[in-house]
Amino acid sequence: MKLIISEKEIAAKRIANILASNGSDDQKIYGVPVHHFDSNGQEYKAIGLKGHILKVDFPKEFSNWFKVDPAALIDAEIEKAPIQKMIIKALKKVAAEASEVIIATDYDREGELIGYDALQIVMDTNSTLSSTRAKFSAITPKDIKEAFAKNGKIDLNLAFAGRARQDIDLIWGATLTRFISLATFQVKDKFLSVGRVQTPTLALIVERELEIKSFVPTPYWEIGVKFRTGDGEEFDATHKKKKFTKKEEAEDAFSKIGEIGKVIEAKESIRDIKPLTPFNTTNLIMGGSSMGFTASRTINIAENLYMNGYISYPRTDNTVYPQTIDLAGIVKTLGESPHFNELSKAILSLDKIVPSRGNKKSTDHPPIYPTAVASKEKLKPDEWKLYELIVRRFAATLLPAAKMKRIAAKIDVNGEIFVANGSSIIEKGWIGHYPYYNHKDVFVPELEIGQELTLIDKAFEGKETKPPARYSQGKLVQKMEELGLGTKATRHSIIQTLVNRGYVRPNPLEPSEKAIAVIKMLRKHAEKISSPDMTSELEMYMDGIANGDETREEVVDRSRDMLRVVMEVLQNEKEEIAKEIKKGIKEDLVVGKCQLEDCEGNLIVRVARASKKRFIGCNAYPKCRNTFPLPQKGLLVTGKDLCKHCEHPMVKIISKGKRPWDLCINPDCPGKDEKYRNYKNKKQSSGADSKS
């Protein structure tokens, strides 16, 4: 009997259904689904894991935060501990009867490590087992059958690179998190998380916020006009200077504008709008972000689509289709759907299908593309939205370039020069089947030099420069990739961790005062932690492990040496560090201004001494006894938003495994639905009458 181990249960079930000659016999061992089937006379059993079944951790004697110096963790031994005990028991039971194990986890560092750990467990149970590795990029009949027909071996270098990442992230994360948390007395559920990749990522968000806060707007003035041709065609133009920084100069130019304009330059050109490049993980996340999905949500949906055989593996850097992909065959299959029939016809009508190419080419996985046609009725709404985006992006890489006509003209109005720029799509090409492309035609008629135009309107407008925008999750992932922070498999989860820890508010990403305080402190006392340079350097070393140029032990020890230097600085400046961070934490407790008449206090998050329950109360207590109840579970994140219904402050509740909940603190808010109105009846639980 051959044992197949996949990364998730859904993948195990699909693989069994694809390979089975006469269907599979599903059973449960210790509550874990096992799929038993025959294929070409050979008996198989397939088990799906739940991602990692082992985790890295320190020995128990290092678990007490108050008794162990954080610096002692740098050189502490690292163990592997079980986190999926029933799956491990089931693996051992089935492995005892097997002759061969086939690792069929996702083919990347993470998947290779998951497969390696599972392999070690079954080999410890049955040392006579032979092992092979099935590599595939899509869970389709064709890909799975080909993968299992030519099994290879597990890539130990890739697995050890994944293990090095685990070790390094544990050492850095645990050491720094304990130090910062203990120094500021933020322990248990209030601990302050610091990480090798997480912290420089947070630094990007904080730096952008500080830019916004320190931004001083600069006034400027714009002059616009509207012309009419002799044929009655109307169009807009702007002064060639675009922005006047001196009002007097703008007013002088505006006063000179007469009633007639004369064309002194007219140019017409046609340019191609090249097809988009194939989707890789970063571009997919950016596409999902533009549709309102968080980075984590985009990847979770994509993984479901992959596991169900609708798209290829969604964790890839590649933007070049390999020649082995039957592009025309996929297009024909998509044509079976009424949603994509016209799109399919447009591609198949071409003389030759020539796909676009990005600048990143790798051999582990192809770019993300559809592998089967899906039905809108069988997918959840969000799944369909992302699937359609992937299908249309795929089509956009195969269709011809669009063509845009551009007209640029300069018009003299009594010595003041105005510029008109028009554009229109004259051949839709790939744009005709890609509704996510934003372009608005700007009309400018065909003009001739010397042609006179009638000025029918003019406008003088004062404006101010605007600060840079906060990062969207998609833009941040792009920036992380550019700086070498994290990997295609981890960037989305790093951002989600920052949200879950209460460091940032999602989309656009806005840091809390606590986050700003932590980053300012690290910038001042230990800049290396918040800089991407150290992290990208370690990523380079881990790439060296994957390529066989470095060993896991060498890279992990190198990271320990880096951390030792950082910790020495932090320990010497502990008191100042604690003072700076505590100030930020205190500011985060402020929810907003007290709204009672004649009260100038602030509403803050408080904890009742007797009941230990949290509530919102005025800091002018006991003079002001204004209070509001709060849910007792979940991470509480304060903000500056006011309720659109009653203008009371809003807070965000973040609970593991649930979507963040935006809550108006006013129990009588007219916008609250019945599900949350019951907080009105829980005021007594707020501890409003307790001293705090």
Taking alpha carbons only, the member of 633, 626, 636 closest to residue 683 is 626
DSSP state of 608: -
* Strands 25-29 and 32-39, bridge-based pairing: antiparallel
Crossing angle of the two packed helices 552-572 and 532-546, in degrees rounded to 10 = 160
Residue 78: CA atoms inside 13 Å, Cβ hemisphere, count?
21
Q: Which residues on neighbouring strands pair with residue 303, listed in sequence order?
A: none
Residue 549 in tokens:
């140029």
Residues 495 and 298: their CA atoms lie apart, in Å, by: 12
In CATH, 2-49+84-154 is 3.40.50.140: yes
Alpha-carbon distance of 234 to 228, in angstroms, equals 4
pLDDT of residue 683: 42
Per-residue confidence band for 674, with pLDDT thresholds at 50, 70 and 90 = very low
Q: What is the pLDDT of residue 72?
A: 96
- Confidence check: pLDDT of 682 > 70: no
Per-residue pLDDT of 275-296, as tens digits, reads: 999 999 999 999 999 999 999 9
* Strands in 428-541 per DSSP E: 452-464, 504-505, 510-511
Contact 626, 635 (CB under 8 A): no
pLDDT for 639: 79
Q: Any idea which residue has 């012309």 for tokens?
A: 227
Per-residue pLDDT band at 673 (split at 50, 70, 90): low
How are beta strands 130-133 and 219-228 bridged, if at all?
Answer: unpaired
How large is the average pLDDT for residues 524-533? 88
556-579 exposure pattern, b = at least 16 Cβ within 10 A, e = fewer: beebbebbeebbeebeeeeeebbe
Superfamily of domain 281-396: Topoisomerase I, domain 4 (1.10.290.10)
Higher pLDDT, 383 or 574: 383
Share of the chain above pLDDT 70, in %: 97
* pLDDT tens digits, 451-470: 999 999 999 999 999 999 99
CATH superfamily of domain region 219-274+402-464: Topoisomerase I, domain 3 (2.70.20.10)
Across the range 89-109, mean pLDDT stands at 95
Average pLDDT of 672-688? 46
CA distance 99 to 69: 48
- The whole-number pLDDT of residue 262 equals 97
**Does residue 58 surpass a pLDDT of 80?**
yes
Catalytic residue among 313, 321, 541, 679: 313
* Domain 163-213+469-584 class in CATH: mainly alpha
Query: If you search the block for the tokens 């290396």, which residue do you land on?
Result: 528
The answer to whether 417 and 239 are in contact (CB under 8 A) is yes
Tell me whether residue 686 is exposed, middle or buried, using C-beta atoms within 10 angstroms of its C-beta: 0 to 12, 13 to 18, 19 or more. Answer: buried
Instruction: Assess whether pLDDT exceeds 90 at residue 34.
Output: yes
pLDDT at residue 675, as a whole number: 45
Query: Over the chain, what is the mean pLDDT?
Result: 92
Determine whether 107 is an active site residue. Answer: no
pLDDT value, residue 23: 86
Residue range 380-420, pLDDT digits in tens: 999 999 999 999 999 999 999 999 999 999 999 999 999 99
Pair 555, 545: CB distance under 8 Å: yes
Q: Are strands 416-427 and 234-239 parallel, antiparallel or unpaired?
A: antiparallel
Judge whether residue 679 has pLDDT over 50. Answer: no
Q: Taking a C-beta distance cutoff of 8 angstroms, is the pair 483, 536 a contact?
A: yes
**pLDDT tens digit sequence for 108-127:** 999 999 999 999 999 999 99
- Domain-wise residue ranges, the chain: 2-49+84-154, 163-213+469-584, 219-274+402-464, 281-396, 589-686
With beta carbons less than 8 A apart as the criterion, state whether 519 and 530 touch: yes
User: Is residue 282 within a helix (H) or strand (E), and if so which, with residue range?
Assistant: helix 281-290
Q: How far apart are CA 178 and CA 103, in angstroms?
A: 37
Joined tokens for residue 16: 């069994």
pLDDT at 403: 97
